[in-house]
Amino acid sequence: MIKVNPENPEPESINLAARVIKNGGLVAFPTETVYGLGANALDEKAAFKIYQAKKRPQDNPLIVHIHSPGELDKLASNVPRTARILMEKFWPGPLTIVLEKSGAVPYGTTGGLDTVAVRMPRHPVALALIRESGVPIAAPSANISGRPSPTTAGDVYEDLAGRVDIILDGGPCEVGVESTVLDLTGEVPVILRPGGVTREELEAVLGRVELDPGLAEGQKPKSPGQKYKHYSPKARVLVVEGPIEAQVRKITELAKKLTAEGKKVGIMATVQTRGYYETGCVLSVGDREAPLTISSNLFSVLRKFDKLGVEEVLAEGIPETGLGLAVMNRLRKAAGYNIIKLE
């Protein structure tokens, strides 16, 4: 693990990590969303190492990271005007666009699909690494598949020590949930995975934007995070959705019941509600009026419950507006769609 300045990464550290990428190795590095596990996107053997390290199913596509918009033309066979508009508005940033792939991108990187998912991150460490490596970098989240995504280098070490050549420690991630994945291969842009760029922001630029029906339970994956259970701590997670007062009452009732059964209970509350709970291990995930505080803390709180030995996590739902859509997508998947909806 090598500490790097998140704003001005040391050239010698970046050069060392870039040499690993060029030689077909694995480097974990920070982005503004979560830490990524990177390899040469154009090297099928290197991409396979990502799947091995993460214990990730090989039909689950990898996102390809680039350091400048001009690189996209090498990776996609058809770049529509819509993509250019989005790149101008949201790159660098937490938006991934899905396009028809070019012959340069191996199927081992795209999970066997004829499409490729590409983004340009805005984290200085990520951009420096891609630029110095001289190749696009395939990088899913740097965790064991199915676990909460890593938002610190410590999280990466916890999951992947001994499975990765270098971890670049650039401090905590800002957004805390992965990028938005937007499919541009059809007539209407479709969100395959909500993330750091909100639906409202996309609609302000594009007009009509649809949500993929596969977001509910996952069908054939066009995007990372669609098909398999994701983001789960060791504890069982139950999400309680509905009016905030009803959530507090139901979670209080469940916490007392589970505690009486001898279970160690954790409650994922918010700034507005944490004072209402008297039973269980209560952690605040953030402020309902500032969704970025919730997205940036979500995965770290799930991991903290594991460290505390919690067996049952009772989590409050939040409104699905703005970043709330991405938060609830991750939370429901962490729970394996174990949800109570209240009126």
pLDDT: which is higher, 88 or 232: 88
293 is in an annotated binding site: no
Report the DSSP beta bridge partners of residue 251.
none
Q: How far apart are CA 175 and CA 32, in angstroms?
A: 6
Distance CA 285, CA 280 (A): 15
* Band (215; pLDDT cuts 50, 70, 90): confident
- Is 139 annotated to bind ligand? yes
The string of pLDDT tens digits covering residues 234-243 is: 999 999 999 9
Is 231 annotated as ligand-binding?
A: yes
Six-digit token pair at 316?
A: 């409050």
Confidence check: pLDDT of 221 > 90: no
* pLDDT tens, residue by residue, 6-39: 999 999 999 999 999 999 999 999 999 999 999 9
pLDDT, one tens digit per residue, over 268-312 is 999 999 999 999 999 999 999 999 999 999 999 999 999 999 999
Looking at residue 59, its pLDDT comes to 87
Asked if 17 and 153 touch (Cβ cutoff 8 Å), the reply is no
Can you tell me the mean pLDDT for 154-167?
A: 97
Distances, alpha carbon 68 to alpha carbons 24, 85, 129, 324, 333, in Å = 22, 15, 12, 29, 32
pLDDT in tens, 320-342: 999 999 999 999 999 999 999 99
Domain-wise residue ranges, the chain: 2-215, 236-341
- 56 marked as binding residue: yes
The pLDDT confidence band at residue 218, using thresholds 50, 70 and 90, is very low
142 is in an annotated binding site: no
For 246-289, strand residue ranges (E) read 265-269, 281-284
334 annotated among ligand-binding-site residues = no
Was 115 annotated as part of a binding site? yes
- Report the DSSP pairing between strands 115-119 and 63-65: parallel
Contact residues for 6 (Cβ-Cβ < 8 A; gap 6+): 30, 123, 124, 125, 170, 171
Q: Which two tokens stand for residue 80?
A: 């529509």
Residue with tokens 């001994």: 162
Question: Residue 252: how many CB atoms within 10 A of its CB?
Answer: 17
| pLDDT band of 343, cuts 50, 70, 90 | confident
Residue 226 has pLDDT above 70, yes or no: no
CATH architecture for segment(s) 236-341 = 3-Layer(aba) Sandwich (3.40)
Residue 315, φ and ψ in degrees, nearest 5: -115, 135
**Whole-Å CA distances, 182 to 185, 210, 211, 300, 332:** 9, 9, 9, 26, 20
Q: What is the pLDDT of residues 307-323, one digit of tens each?
A: 999 999 999 999 999 99
- Enter the CATH code of domain 2-215: 3.90.870.10
> Is 149 annotated to bind ligand?
yes
229 pLDDT above the threshold of 70: no
Q: How confident is the model at residue 43 (pLDDT cuts 50, 70, 90)?
A: very high
Task: Identify the pLDDT of residue 231.
Answer: 84
Q: What is the pLDDT of residue 230?
A: 73
Across the chain, what does the average pLDDT equal?
A: 95
H or E segment to which residue 64 belongs: strand 63-65
pLDDT tens column, 124-150: 999 999 999 999 999 999 999 999 999
Cα-Cα-Cα-Cα torsion 153, 157, 159, 164, nearest 10 degrees, comes to 100
8 is in an annotated binding site: no
- The confidence score (pLDDT) of residue 224 equals 54
Q: Which pTM does this prediction carry?
A: 0.94
Q: Is 65 annotated as a binding residue?
A: yes
